[in-house]
Amino acid sequence: PFGIPEESISTKFPVELDDCLINPNEEHDFTNTSNSLPTYKIISTNFFRIRRLQAEVLQVLYFTSSLLPRFYTNLNDWKSNIDNRLENWFKTIPLKTSRKSNCDFNFEFFKLNYYHTKLLLFGITPKNNKVDNKAIKIIFESSKGMIMCYAEFFKSKTINYTWAAVHNLFMAGTSFFYSIFHSNEKLIESQEFEETI
């Protein structure tokens, strides 16, 4: 859960340079220094970036007392901007394999967070209680994507049985059924539906 508002945080992200190359006795700014090889820190910084997007979505759409950021004319402009930033985050994750990231990390977690953020953004919220057919398709794809991610975690024995995982999977399942029930068109064939559920 997001307990500290973003505007209260002034700490910069850690530098992506491997710690073994940072000498604390040197008075040198390592902010823009990079390795020739990617480091495990890229995983952390990418999680920090997605958490900031998720925090903004929750603050604007789910907190009843929050206001739309002032540089947006309406909720749809803001949602479009967040969606663009989310797509950019997902496309620019520099590492796609554990070998390249220099650690054993399951990149399915990035996909899960991508789909989860889409669902938070386009689903029914206190500030957005009506969804159009375009949003219903996004809800369908996102919820199905989350379900498939958890299926992969289960197969690879990397699933964490936490309250967050149970909540996310429940949210994905109910959103999946909601999108199919409320869509104006057929979103899924019977066989694929049975495989997904």
Residue 101: pLDDT band with limits 50, 70, 90 = low
Handedness of CA 131, 135, 141, 145 (dihedral sign): negative
**pLDDT at position 32:** 63
Per-residue b or e along 78-103, where b marks 16 or more CB atoms closer than 10 Å to that residue's CB: bbeebbebbeebbeebebeeeeebbe
CB 114 within 8 A of CB 144: no
- Give per-residue pLDDT as tens, 28-83: 666 666 665 666 778 888 899 999 999 999 989 988 778 888 889 999 999 999 99
Better-scored residue on pLDDT, 125 or 97: 125
**pLDDT at position 7:** 77
- Give per-residue pLDDT as tens, 152-190: 999 988 888 888 899 999 999 999 999 999 998 999 988
Residue 63: left (phi > 0), alpha (psi -120 to 50), or beta?
beta
How far is it, in rounded angstroms, from Cα 53 to Cα 41? 19
Q: What is the pTM of this model?
A: 0.85
Count other Cβ atoms within 10 Å, centred on residue 122: 25
Handedness of CA 18, 19, 25, 29 (dihedral sign): positive
- Give per-residue pLDDT as tens, 106-132: 788 999 999 999 999 999 998 888 899
Least reliable range by pLDDT among 14-18, 136-140, 145-149 = 14-18
Q: What's the mean per-residue pLDDT of the chain?
A: 85
Query: What is the total residue count of the chain?
Result: 197
**Confidence check: pLDDT of 99 > 70:** no
CB within 8 Å of 118: residues ≥ 6 apart = 83, 86, 138, 141, 142, 145
Of the candidates 104, 107, 137, which has an alpha carbon nearest to the alpha carbon of residue 119?
137
How far is it, in rounded angstroms, from Cα 19 to Cα 23? 8
Least reliable range by pLDDT among 16-20, 43-47, 138-142, 147-151 = 16-20
How far is it, in rounded angstroms, from Cα 166 to Cα 163? 5
